[in-house]
Amino acid sequence: MAGAMSTKPTPEGDRIAKVIARAGLASRREAERMIEEGRVAVNGRVIDRAALNVTDRDRIEVDGKPLDAPEAARIWLYHKPTGLVTTTKDEQGRPTIFDALPDDLPRVMSVGRLDLNSEGLLLLTNDGAVKRKLELPSTGWLRRYRVRVNGRPTDEMLAPLREGLTIDGQTFQPMTVAIDRQQGANAWLTVGLREGKNREVRRAMADIGLTVNRLIRLSYGPFQLGQMKPGEVQEVRGRIVRDQLGLPSPAQETTARPGPSGKAGKGKTGKPGPAKPRNVTRKRR
């Protein structure tokens, strides 16, 4: 009948690339490339397209090896030092954060990035969906920075940053900017913003005549740099990750998932609070 609504059922399960990403093996985009390269098989048949839904009844193999069950979403705090780029591979051959991360860390992705000369808090996660969620402007988490600029800024000079400005056709949302102290020819500022455009703080400061010569990210939403040393990694407690991201509790997850004995296992919970360090060994250089 003309004009009748489609009764085509919604496909069961999730897209294959999403399932691979949730297992912590690759990002969704990387998983799609693996599929295009013929490295993924479902139920014994190699697939060449990512537009395929799978369920837990399907047998998935990547490079001939069975895909592990999805890992619980995890987040780590990393004090990124200067001199490292936030990418898996740099075309110019510069060292990356992934070259410097501890060897005992599982495969992780960065949430956003800090440029070569910036330092401070960088979030890492094993979950592609968590990465995308935390990078979305709609998440609205405040990011705070300690910024050292060359010059003598005044409140009048900083007004455009607080009101929002447009640079080369790109609109920057209003920032919070406080002058902390003048130190010789330099001044220290605390800057807060809720979006993550490329080199946003540096470009905004340059637009009002100030040159940034040091930039340290102090926090990303509820997660704080605190007293972490450059290169240090701390894992956030599972309960805090679940509370902040609205993820199911271990009890909910294990109700339908038998433990090794065949009985539903009990999930461990930690007390809410600051990120708890785990025994992560720094990579030797």
Residue 78: count other Cβ atoms within 10 Å of its Cβ.
28
Q: From CA 259, how far away is CA 150, in angstroms rounded?
A: 59
| 83 to 38, 95, 110: CA distances (angstroms) | 36, 7, 16
Phi-psi region of 262 (alpha: psi -120 to 50; beta: other; left: phi over 0): left
> 177 in helix, strand or coil?
strand
The alpha carbon dihedral of 30, 33, 39, 41 has a sign of positive
Is residue 99 flagged as an active site residue? no
Q: How many residues does the chain have?
A: 285
Write the burial class of residue 156 (CB in 10 Å: 0-12 exposed, 13-18 middle, 19+ buried). exposed
Residue 162: count other Cβ atoms within 10 Å of its Cβ.
12
Set 58, 115, 127, 207: catalytic member: 115
> Which residues are identified as catalytic?
115
